[in-house]
Structure 1
């Protein structure tokens, strides 16, 4: 590794901070220009894009991470080439299959057909970007990772501001801004892999078969993950209004600070953890368990502190129309903490290449969480969406921990 765990985590966190601060800077503009209802439609676009990404990516980012440790560079290049071609083929198939649906039911869809087409293209481009990011992460190059991520966000926001504010394209401008930014950086990602020798454009049947067998079990998990991460907003959109969804989305955007923190450590932790698991030593496994428990306590403490500090800034950030968003923040911040705890235990399942266990845990949670959100919204109004989000993340963590112990036994409860 070029950096230790602490240094890598700091770099990832810094890039995540910059990456999230740019949308935060955009948030007061979008909320005032678009208003709660139009902002709610943009949130629906984000949900659809996340759903499409879950299917199109086929878990290829995770496949890159795992195969890096098993293949020599020339072999990995062919594997990467097969992966990139597979993403392109799946994206093309998704666009093609959607067109008859658009012709028959375009007026009944929750979003305009153009927006949905843009979401599919964004998903394909983001899958390519994520493949590059996975390759960069596993090679322990956090600076390259952060520069790519932040630059893509700046381009995304820059084009969006141009289209939304200067050209008055409203929500469509935000959609087009994302699509163009993702497409540009997808091309940069592919070129970078090819130029550095990590990509050889060849469709290898053996690797293609491996990718399909690796990726298909992940699709239910990926879709379940989208349901888990978005069902609070999907159910709220169904039971409430676009305006209520827009207000809730602002709280979710602010709560991303917790997600940034746990995601940063997770990115640095993956290669650090896998290198130590490869030692296959009981003392190392015991120390990893101790580190995990310390991490659990830390993220819960941080969530508690942020729950006190952040709510007063909502009105200043988004405007008086979004004052109700502060009520959702504590619930969403603790949901983010449990997401980080889920990451910690889920990595052992990835290392053991037993992805079916991830599907079991996420599938059960994907059933529980929408039901919980529906019931809690009926009882407590929009606040029930945030409560359901927390309940879902707690369930995901507990179930994943259970299956993780089966996939890769660790001394979790041994003194």
Structure 2
């Protein structure tokens, strides 16, 4: 009976997505004791502030794009979908540029609220844009019912994030910046992988020919 259930495509995909999500949530939690040994409570607070700021920037960079792709994916042909993807990425880029311009004006206010300096504010916006690109890649894989690619990509990003963070915090003793740099590096790296994947597979186009 179990074997027959596992042959069911929808159930198999659901199990893979659930397993991948569980690992992504468990791994960062498991390394907390290690990080707490090397980071002071105040440094943990800065990392938490960074995560909040990063989440805010992702919301603005995303502009609801991944949800729009999910809603319209099955109603568009491939050419129109590619144009839609390009326009969404362009809109995310414009939103990110606007945020960068706002940082030049309001970086002092942001620092007062989050204790994140202008260098990391700029890097957080850039990272948010690449996070949107990765999210789009994962969304398309989910809609195409490619759970193995989805799960591997998501889990490997989390593992790379953690490994870089541990290297910078534990080995190189970089404190809270090591943890933040681990998040930034892994996010930008996987965003670049996703962008190269889009380009190599010609998953977007500027206009219909």
TM-score by length of 2: 0.87
Q: Distance in 2 between matches of 1:73 and 1:203?
A: 12
1:76 is displaced (CA, Å) by 0.8
1:12 to 17, 24, 32: 17
Go from structure 1 to structure 2 and tell me whether the alpha carbon gap of 1:203 and 1:58 turns closer, same or farther (over 3 Å shift): farther
Alignment partner of 2:28 out of 23, 26, 32: 23
Q: Distance in 1 between matches of 2:48 and 2:207?
A: 36
Rounded Cα–Cα distance in structure 2 between residues aligned with 1:107 and 1:70: 44
Q: Deviations over 1:24-76 (max 9, x none)?
A: 33211111111333212211111111111111101111111122111111221
Give the C-alpha shift of residue 93 in structure 1.
1.9
Q: Label 1:137 to 1:37 Cα distance change in 2 as closer, same or farther (>3 A).
A: same
Is it true that 1:158 corresponds to 2:187 in the alignment?
A: no
Q: What's the counterpart of residue 140 of structure 1?
A: 145
Cα deviation digits, residues 178-213 of structure 1 (max 9, x gap): 11111111111122123223222x279xxxxxxxxx
Residue 3 of structure 1 deviates from its aligned partner by 5.7
Q: What SS does the aligned partner of 2:114 have? A: coil
Correspondent of 1:194 among 178, 195, 199: 199
- Which one of the candidate residues 29, 35, 42 is aligned to 1:37? 42
Equivalent residues in 2 for 1:201-212 (5 A)?
A: 202=206
C-alpha distance 106-43 of structure 1, shift in aligned 2 (>3 A): closer
In the alignment, does 2:68 pair up with 1:89?
no
Q: Which residue number in structure 1 is paired with residue 184 of structure 2?
A: 179
Q: Does 1:53 align with 2:58?
A: yes
Distance 1:45 1:174 in 2: 10
Name the Cα RMSD after superposition. Answer: 2.0
Greater displacement, 124-133 / 36-45: 36-45
Contact 1:115–1:172 under 8 Å retained in 2:
no
Runs ≥4 in structure 1, deviation > 6 angstroms? none
Take 2:109 and 2:128, find their aligned partners in 1: how far apart are those partners? 22
Cα distance change of structure 1 residues 83 and 106 upon mapping to structure 2, 3 Å threshold: closer
Contact 1:81 1:203 in 2 (8 A): no
Does the CA-based 8 Å contact 2:169-2:176 persist in structure 1? yes
The separation in 1 between residues aligned to 2:109 and 2:92, in whole angstroms, is 27
Tell me the distance in 2 between the aligned counterparts of 1:107 and 1:77: 39
SS at match of 2:89: helix
2:116 matched residue in structure 1 = 112
2:3 corresponds to which residue? none
Report which structure shows greater RCO (CA 8 Å, sep ≥6): 2
Secondary structure of the residue aligned to 1:188 is helix
User: What CA deviation, in whole Å up to 9, does each residue of 1:336-377 have, x standing for no partner?
Assistant: xxxxxxxxxxxxxxxxxxxxxxxxxxxxxxxxxxxxxxxxxx
Q: 1:138: Cα distance to partner?
A: 0.9
Post-superposition Cα deviations, 1:85-112, rounded to whole Å, max 9, x if no partner, equal 221221122112211222x547634312
Alpha-carbon deviation of 1:120?
Answer: 1.8
- Report if the CA contact (8 A) 1:85-1:203 is conserved: no
Relative to 1, partners in 2 of residues 1:4 and 1:42: Cα closer, same or farther, differing over 3 Å?
same
CA deviation vs aligned residue, 1:214-255 (integer Å, no higher than 9, x gap): xxxxxxxxxxxxxxxxxxxxxxxxxxxxxxxxxxxxxxxxxx
Alpha-carbon distance change, 69 to 107 in structure 1, aligned in 2, over 3 angstroms: closer
Q: How many residues align?
A: 201
* 2: CA distance, partners of 1:167 / 1:3: 48
SS at match of 1:149: helix
Q: Which runs of 5+ in 2 are unaligned?
A: 1-6
